[in-house]
Amino acid sequence: MAVDHRPRDFDHLVLDAEPLVAYYLDEPGADVVEPFLLAIEDGELGGSISAVTAVEVYYASLRAVGGTDRDVSTDAAAEQRVADYLDTLRMNDVEIVPVDGIDVTTGVIKANHSIAIGDAFALGTAYDSHADHDGSVALLVGADDDYDPFVADHAATDGIDLTVFRFRDDAP
């Protein structure tokens, strides 16, 4: 069941890979992610992902769509379907933030926290988005326990007005 721990006020949303993969593959919690993507598409909310998150969405979706028991690189239909996911993000005004724009921030996060590199890039994108956008920023994540210190303790965001919240509590 999807759990919505959504903050009530923010102007910009950074998405981790798990919510996007869940949405594209219609996994549990997709219904929680969809209104955020529609709000970004309608211009009611800013949205971004890191380039690393885009790669995570691509390969995780390709594995799921193409199947894990074969060489997915030979499945042109699966590759096109997954490429369409990323094109849809771009067309709906989700900014894909290049790595060189967030590398220092992400490096500091990775050095200070025991967190996967992809998750560190999502946090780095959110931290830097705070500086680039007026108002508060939220980061939408899934059940990944790397985010536990950030979800549980607002202080872990180093004083930045950043709220990390989950769209679901359990991975499928």
150: in domain: yes
Number of structural domains the chain divides into: 1
For residue 109, tell me if it sits in a domain: yes
What is the distance between the alpha carbons of residues 100 and 83, in angstroms, rounded to a whole number? 23
pLDDT score at 69: 56
Domain membership flag for residue 7: no
More confident residue, 125 or 82: 125
CA pair distance 172, 130, nearest whole angstrom? 31
**Amino acid letter, residue 128:** D
- Reported as a single tens digit per residue, the pLDDT across 3-39 is 444 445 788 999 999 999 999 888 999 999 999 999 8
Q: Which of 14-23, 38-47, 158-167 has the highest mean pLDDT?
A: 14-23
Q: Residue 105 sits in which domain range?
A: 12-166
Q: What was the pLDDT predicted at 58?
A: 86
Q: What share of the chain has pLDDT > 90, as a percent?
A: 36
What is the maximal distance between C-alpha atoms in the chain?
Answer: 47
Q: Does 42 map to a domain?
A: yes
**Portion of the chain with pLDDT greater than 70, in percent:** 81
> Is residue 171 one of the residues assigned to a domain?
no
Amino acid 160: pLDDT: 65
The enclosing domain of 119 has a CATH number of 3.40.50.1010
pLDDT in tens, 137-148: 889 999 988 888
pLDDT in tens, 55-73: 999 888 887 876 665 565 6
What are the C-alpha distances in Å from 73 to residues 13, 18, 27? Answer: 32, 22, 23
Domain-embedded: residue 28: yes
Q: Is residue 172 part of a domain?
A: no
95: β partners: 48
For residues 85 and 154, the model is more confident at 85
Q: How large is the angle between the packed helices 117-132 and 103-112, nearest 10 degrees?
A: 130
The C-alpha atoms of residue 66 and residue 74 are separated, in whole angstroms, by 9
Q: Which residue has the higher pLDDT, 152 or 30?
A: 30
How far, in Å, CA of 117 to CA of 144, rounded?
13
Candidates 92, 94, 97; CA nearest to 42 is: 92
| pLDDT: which is higher, 2 or 32 | 32
Q: What is the number of residues in the chain?
A: 172
Res 11: pLDDT: 87
Predicted pLDDT at 71: 60
- How many whole angstroms separate alpha carbon 164 and alpha carbon 142? 10
* pLDDT at residue 162 in the model: 75
Give counts: helices (H), strands (E), the chain: 7, 5
pLDDT value, residue 7 = 47
Residue 4: inside a domain, yes or no?
no
